[in-house]
Structure 1
Amino acid sequence: MKPIPGALSIGQDIELHGTRFQVNAFDGGAVVLSAPGSAPAMIKIGALYADPSFKILDQPKVRRRFTGSSPLFDSLPPAVRDRARWLEGHITEVLDGVALNEDAERPPRSEYSVTVHSLRQREKSKCAELKLLGEDISFSTFQRLRIAYEREGIIGLTDQRLSRATPLSGQTDPRVVEALQTMLERNIHESSGTLDRLIHQVRHQLEEEHGVGVVPVPSRATFHRLVKKLAQGRHATGSARTRRTLAQQPETPFGSVYPVRPGELMQIDSTPLDVAIELDDGIIGRVELTALVDVATRTICAAVVQPTTKAVDAALLLARCLTPEMMRPGWPEAISMAASALPYRSMRSIDERLEGAADKPVITPETIVCDHGKAYLSNTFKTACRSLGISIQPAHPDTPTDKPVIERTLQSVGTLFCQYVTGYLGSSVERRGKNAEAQAVYSLVEMQDLLDEWVVTAWQNRPHEGLRDPLSPQRVFTPNEKYAALVSVSGYVPVPLGPDDYIELMPAEARVINSYGVKIRHRVYDSTELNPYRGQGSGINALKDRWEIRWDPYDVGRIWVRNHHDGGWITAYWRQLHASPQPFGEDVWERGRQIVATRTGNRASEEAIKAAVDGLLARAAEPSPRARKPSAQDRRTVARNKATSKHDWAPPEAEKPTPPMDKTAPENDLSDAELAKIVPLKIYDARAEAERWW
């Protein structure tokens, strides 16, 4: 029986574990094998084919017939293709007795019958026929074409010079190619230059390794063509930023994680916002956008705009993610959660905070992927995530492909939102218009309002390419529609935050409660509630008997002291708060310390820093002709602080202790002493936010 190509039949010889066997019989799903000098053995056919050492010997060749279209063959000239098809008809008639495109039921001509004549006889007959047709093809040439056709198909019947793959470097000396590749790798982190610099570097490298004049350097035109081939996709003489980004991509296929429920995987990052903001007193500056994106639904769970991203900003971003976005005056009812694609009724029955919420879901993070920025690796952010049961997954250094969703989302904010805002600066200097900074009209608070409304109105209801249905690729979901589909399977679990949760999101330090209070950042804080604990230790060995302190970088007027003895928190106010009716943040305080340190050269005292800060605020608010004109850094610092102090975060209701009075007043005048006017910065109240937001 003639063996069938690709099939196992009785009488065939096979090789298994280096031993030659013959197939004797088949018994159901098993095959009987025999070898000389040994008893027959039986093995399952599935196990035989799964064994990597299995091989069928004397396997008849399978002729490859490329009857369909091939991009390589279709790219050849028409005359070449026509001749190849003409040769294919004659060769297939020799091989099968009937030409490829002829009727298979037509009997073969007598000189090409495969049962009467051998292959050699049929080849000689074909050569004689072609000679009569005017095609003088020798017998050896026809055999070569027949073998090429059996091995490569119809492409083997064409001129191989037309389809041959040429070396990437052509005929250039391999030493020149190696030197050029070395220079391209070395220039990844250097500033971009021209091709002339690259030629000079390669020539210098060749002279150092092989000597002057030993390796001939190709001409300028040849070198340009060589660089174009070897540096393709590297931006060797283009954008240095793009070149570094491409070099940081992993060589292996990109790994992908496909979360199946909202909050399973989130990504966080910051980027400069491409819009000029009017901070204060006409100061124009740039701000940073920090966003938290859910990978499963592509929802922008929270996005804040601040002059600079700090650890407390990243921590408070978690609170905004866990808190509903409430409807604001002027927003249309169409973007309310009750009128959206979200399952409002079922979620409203579980979480009463959703009453009057806008069309943006509340998602509880499980894992957050971040880069190695100081704000995300700080103890403040780590502690906030730990208190909420969130896992942090730092990305690999200099590997933006570890968090591609947030990287692309921040770019989309620039193209879909920023470019339509007055004061748009463009993504780079070369894209910036003339006097673009002069068009800035929005303050930091107004920009935050615009961004919040855009996220709810546009982003959450815009079809996203990353949310295509895998079973129906033509359908694209919006973030809200994807959330509605996933939450119906995974469920909705609200996580309300209280005042203690809010304080836990603040930066923490360990300090001693002295007789005069708590000193932090050269400022002294005191409260009557600290009286029982002055001069005492906390009893916490891990803190070296010190007390845990929480503080708000945007309001230096108060701190929170954890009561390790009786539980809860103690609010302590700045001792000189009565002399500073205008609150200011850590940026202004540090700037004042720098001014004093520059002026005196010694360690700054609290009083000196206080006077410097007051003078700075006074000069920036009401500059006097005789006063020293504030520097650009002074004005920028004050502007950033004032812009930050205008946010709508409210302090927790549970903290209403009486601020300390001026201890410098006589004791007999305490009854008439005027209490210090407390003007704290508005901060984020995570517990009551749902009722009092806007």
Structure 2
Amino acid sequence: MLDLSPGAAVVLDGREWCVEGCEPQFGRVMLVDASDGRRMRANLGMLAHHPNCRQSSRTTASRAAAKGRQEPIESDLTRHQRKLLKLRVAHLLEVATGFCGGDPLRPGPGEPKPCYDPGVTTLTQRRWAKVEELTRLDKDQARVLGLDRVGYRTLIRWEARRRRYGAIGCADDRWLRPALGHLTINEQVREAIYAVHGECLYRSRISMRTRERLIHQYVREQFGQEATGDIPSYETLRTAWHDWFGSGGGRQRYVRSAAKSTSGEHVVIHRPGQVVALDTTVMPVKVRETVFGDPVSVHLTLALDVCTRSLVGFRLTLVSDSSIDIAMLLRDITMPLPMRPGWGDDMEWPYPGLPANVVADFAGHQVAGLPFFSPETVTTDHGSVYRNHHLVEVERVLGCNILPARVLRPTDKQAVERSFGAIRSLLFELLHGYTGVDVADRGEDPEADADLTIEKAEHVIATWIVKVWQNRKLGEHAPSWDPKGDHSPNSLFAASMAQGGFAMQIPSPELYYELLPAHHVQIHHERGVKIGRLWYDGDALDEYRDEPSARGGKHKRRYLIRSDPRDARSVFFQDPKTHDWHSLRWKGLPPGDEIPSFGDARVREMLTAARKSGLKPQTDRELLPVLLDLLGAHAPVESWKSLPKAKRTEITRDDARGRAAAADRPVEQPVRLVEPKPAAAQVSKRPMVAEPRRPQQARDIDNAVDADRRDRRAQALQQQAPLPPPARLGEAFRRGNLFLLTNDEAADSTLAE
């Protein structure tokens, strides 16, 4: 109900008006603007039904501590004031019930006192007895306890406020005086403080003393020497700076980033897949690569559903990730996770409303208990792996919106940032090879403790996510419809399915090709297509060698070729008529033989080495010896450990990326990785460490070198003309007669000449 008595204040559309007079017989009220004194006649019905009309707390608040402010609470008091408040409440409870605790079933020592016994005294008698008791207190002690001026009416007022507001109602309003600001700071000094703050935002960090000198300089140059006398003390300026701009403990680069203007809009997340946050960090566990068996660090990329806190995807990459790794991670989010060997029935698809056998029929395999969906919005930081044309095109193909976080503001994706810390404490700290938070907390030799390969580490993380993380109770995250309930990522996803349903869309295997980088080229009638300075060819191009593409638009008359940067041994061509995908082999590969995989970085290195050596190849077959040399074909077994760390890392990275590319392909391609043959067990101090695959890889390279040499020798012999058979012994003597005499006339003519 509005109080429209003269002197009352009402707030109308955000402006405060004071009631000057009210004429209820005419249904009118005269309002005066509190800021400029402007008068306005208003109708009582309009004020009663206006949606933005309310009573001002400045005149209607029943407590002085709440006028024009928020209602006070006990946490606003200091520790000493809370002790005094507790003492006042004990006195009031003793007056009301005869017991200081207020509970007759739990009396204190000597309770109830005869003068406070509710069975023989009235409430008025107990109040007068309390006044007499407080009067007998020492004056200094009573002043310290805030009980020196307590009378009969004070007890009544305290009790009424306690019943209405609780214990805080007994607090003295003088304890919660309003903050009046800094009265000694005038408009000129205020302008100088804000000007100096804006200047310091783009400077290197300076001390408060330097800021004070800049404030004095600004006031002196802008308002004259006389105005400097109104500048308050250093302590006042320091306090005002802290109140207006914070403690100033942040780093300058982060402070400048936070000061940038934003749209002011917020994303309200209420369904799975609405926002998926991606981030990459170095996994704090050393693992062993499977080529040389060296301990290495790998990068862990997580995909977190912000609504349910489900870890819907992850990737382990050696050295660093690339755009193709992130593209395949987004593809993993849209596909159901297959059950792995060793996983029990408790890790199968658990969500009610959609039976596991139905999902398995659509997917073609048993599905693990991990949500899958098409992400609507992807939030990432500004790393180079996320900001490139390829990944933007991938997100367009998947139908995702891109919502980048602000620069240097990790709080915009704090959910995935916090997930890294949770995985560290719940899983990584239990594994051998854990490196700690930083170098100071690192163990004596975590590299020697490493006993997991990259494949085993990936299996451990996948098992832990499905079995532990998805069923783990969330500590601080809860939905708005049940903020006090116990929830896990799986329970939140099941609740979302019950509320809004679940669109089970499993992408086709051809999605792999659509997410690869695209190249628009023409088909050479003899050499095929040129991708990344290498030529690729296959039988699928025979029908289109002599005719341009029928495509229009920007890439008119050019064919679309897809390539996987992780494996440059082949590219992929889609038949324009049947829309089937075909693999095109590199023309430098030996026919019928297999070589280890190599990526785009190895191609650039091969071309650079060929150019430096003065080689001008006519065909790609002439580049194969250079490639095999880079792959380590001529490195003897004794020199494997003496290879530089960077060289071993490059070889291992090519092998890991090739295996990842082979695992992501929907079907087996003609160019495939060579699986290692089982080797005999060897005695080792660490039996759990996997056997290095470098011997088998070296044998594969040697076999490729031998095959290439045989092919070259055969081609050279075919190009040479056939040699005639050698003459028989005495053939020259059989051609003429040794006893035949020459013609005399011919001999004489020869002598005359």
TM-score range normalised by the length of the shorter chain: 0.5 to 0.7
One of 279, 303, 306 as aligned partner of 1:295: 306
Higher gyration radius (CA): 2
SS of alignment partner, residue 555 of structure 1: coil
User: 2:432, 2:446 → 1: CA distance?
Assistant: 9
Offset at residue 574 of structure 1 (A) = 0.8
- Partner of 2:47 in structure 1? 47
Matched AA of 2:376: E
Pairing 1:141-290 to 2, within 5 Å after superposition: 185-186=201-202, 198=207, 234-235=248-249, 244=254, 248=258, 256-279=266-289, 280-290=291-301
Pairing 1:17-416 to 2, within 5 Å after superposition: 22-25=22-25, 32-33=27-28, 43-48=43-48, 50=50, 64=64, 70-72=74-76, 75=79, 185-186=201-202, 198=207, 234-235=248-249, 244=254, 248=258, 256-279=266-289, 280-307=291-318, 308-337=320-349, 340=350, 342-345=352-355, 348=358, 351-353=361-363, 356-416=366-426
User: 2:443, 2:241 → 1: CA distance?
Assistant: 34
- CA gap of 1:462–1:342, structure 2 versus 1, over 3 A, is farther
User: 2:528, 2:309 → 1: CA distance?
Assistant: 48
- Partner of 2:132 in structure 1? none
SS of alignment partner, residue 659 of structure 2: coil
- Partner of 2:588 in structure 1? 576
1:504 aligns with 2:518: no
User: 2:323, 2:240 → 1: CA distance?
Assistant: 49
- CA gap of 1:64–1:508, structure 2 versus 1, over 3 A, is same
- Partner of 1:613 in structure 2? 627
- CA gap of 1:652–1:200, structure 2 versus 1, over 3 A, is same
Moved more, 61-70 or 405-414: 61-70
- Whether the 8 Å contact between 2:326 and 2:391 is mirrored in structure 1 is yes
Moved more, 352-361 or 314-323: 352-361
1:527 aligns with 2:538: yes
- Partner of 1:96 in structure 2? none
Offset at residue 82 of structure 1 (A) = 12
Offset at residue 404 of structure 1 (A) = 2.8
State the TM-score, normalizing by the size of structure 2.
0.62
- Whether the 8 Å contact between 1:265 and 1:294 is mirrored in structure 2 is yes
Offset at residue 480 of structure 1 (A) = 0.8
SS of alignment partner, residue 403 of structure 2: strand
Offset at residue 355 of structure 1 (A) = 5.1
- Partner of 1:651 in structure 2? 665
Offset at residue 571 of structure 1 (A) = 2.0
SS of alignment partner, residue 445 of structure 1: helix
User: 1:277, 1:168 → 2: CA distance?
Assistant: 63
Offset at residue 402 of structure 1 (A) = 3.2
- Partner of 1:451 in structure 2? 461
Task: Give per-residue Cα distances to partners, 1:83-142, cap 9 Å, x unaligned.
Answer: 999xxxxxxxxxxxxxxxxx9999xxxxxxxxxxxxxxxxxxxxxxxxxxxx99xxxxxx
Matched AA of 1:649: A
- Whether the 8 Å contact between 2:378 and 2:400 is mirrored in structure 1 is yes
Offset at residue 499 of structure 1 (A) = 3.4
SS of alignment partner, residue 631 of structure 2: helix
- Partner of 1:633 in structure 2? 646
State the TM-score, normalizing by the size of structure 1.
0.66
Matched AA of 1:533: Y
User: 1:519, 1:633 → 2: CA distance?
Assistant: 30
Offset at residue 525 of structure 1 (A) = 0.6
User: 2:29, 2:468 → 1: CA distance?
Assistant: 73
- Whether the 8 Å contact between 1:364 and 1:494 is mirrored in structure 2 is no
User: 2:479, 2:378 → 1: CA distance?
Assistant: 24
Offset at residue 351 of structure 1 (A) = 4.9
1:7 aligns with 2:3: yes
Higher RCO (C-alpha under 8 Å, 6+ residues apart): 1
Offset at residue 48 of structure 1 (A) = 5.0
- Whether the 8 Å contact between 2:182 and 2:240 is mirrored in structure 1 is no
- Whether the 8 Å contact between 2:2 and 2:55 is mirrored in structure 1 is no
Moved more, 345-354 or 443-452: 345-354
User: 1:633, 1:333 → 2: CA distance?
Assistant: 44
- Whether the 8 Å contact between 2:212 and 2:234 is mirrored in structure 1 is no
- Whether the 8 Å contact between 2:566 and 2:654 is mirrored in structure 1 is yes
CA RMSD of aligned residues (A): 5.6
- CA gap of 1:71–1:467, structure 2 versus 1, over 3 A, is closer
Task: Give per-residue Cα distances to partners, 1:531-581, cap 9 Å, x unaligned.
Answer: 222253223232142221101122211111233466433321111222762
Matched AA of 1:7: D
Identity of aligned residues (%): 21
User: 2:335, 2:2 → 1: CA distance?
Assistant: 64
- Whether the 8 Å contact between 2:516 and 2:562 is mirrored in structure 1 is yes
- CA gap of 1:570–1:419, structure 2 versus 1, over 3 A, is same
Offset at residue 278 of structure 1 (A) = 2.2
Matched AA of 2:45: I
- CA gap of 1:363–1:104, structure 2 versus 1, over 3 A, is same
Matched AA of 1:317: L
Matched AA of 2:583: T
- Partner of 1:468 in structure 2? 478
- Whether the 8 Å contact between 2:324 and 2:565 is mirrored in structure 1 is yes
User: 2:668, 2:285 → 1: CA distance?
Assistant: 38
User: 2:49, 2:321 → 1: CA distance?
Assistant: 61
User: 1:253, 1:461 → 2: CA distance?
Assistant: 37
- CA gap of 1:198–1:73, structure 2 versus 1, over 3 A, is closer
- Partner of 2:655 in structure 1? 642
- CA gap of 1:614–1:43, structure 2 versus 1, over 3 A, is same
- CA gap of 1:298–1:668, structure 2 versus 1, over 3 A, is same
SS of alignment partner, residue 504 of structure 2: coil
- Whether the 8 Å contact between 1:522 and 1:605 is mirrored in structure 2 is no
- Partner of 1:552 in structure 2? 564
Gaps of 5+ in 1: 26-30, 36-40, 86-102, 107-134, 137-152, 191-196, 670-694
Task: Give per-residue Cα distances to partners, 1:634-688, cap 9 Å, x unaligned.
Answer: 2211111122333461633486699xx999766999xxxxxxxxxxxxxxxxxxx
- Whether the 8 Å contact between 2:348 and 2:356 is mirrored in structure 1 is no
- CA gap of 1:164–1:228, structure 2 versus 1, over 3 A, is closer
Offset at residue 390 of structure 1 (A) = 3.2
Matched AA of 1:427: V
- Whether the 8 Å contact between 1:260 and 1:296 is mirrored in structure 2 is yes
- Partner of 1:91 in structure 2? none
Offset at residue 428 of structure 1 (A) = 3.0
Matched AA of 1:383: E
Offset at residue 299 of structure 1 (A) = 1.2
Query: Aligned residue pairs: how many?
Result: 578
User: 1:369, 1:357 → 2: CA distance?
Assistant: 27
Matched AA of 1:550: R
Offset at residue 304 of structure 1 (A) = 0.9
- Whether the 8 Å contact between 1:620 and 1:635 is mirrored in structure 2 is no
User: 1:12, 1:331 → 2: CA distance?
Assistant: 72
Offset at residue 286 of structure 1 (A) = 2.3
Matched AA of 2:596: Q
- Whether the 8 Å contact between 1:73 and 1:81 is mirrored in structure 2 is no
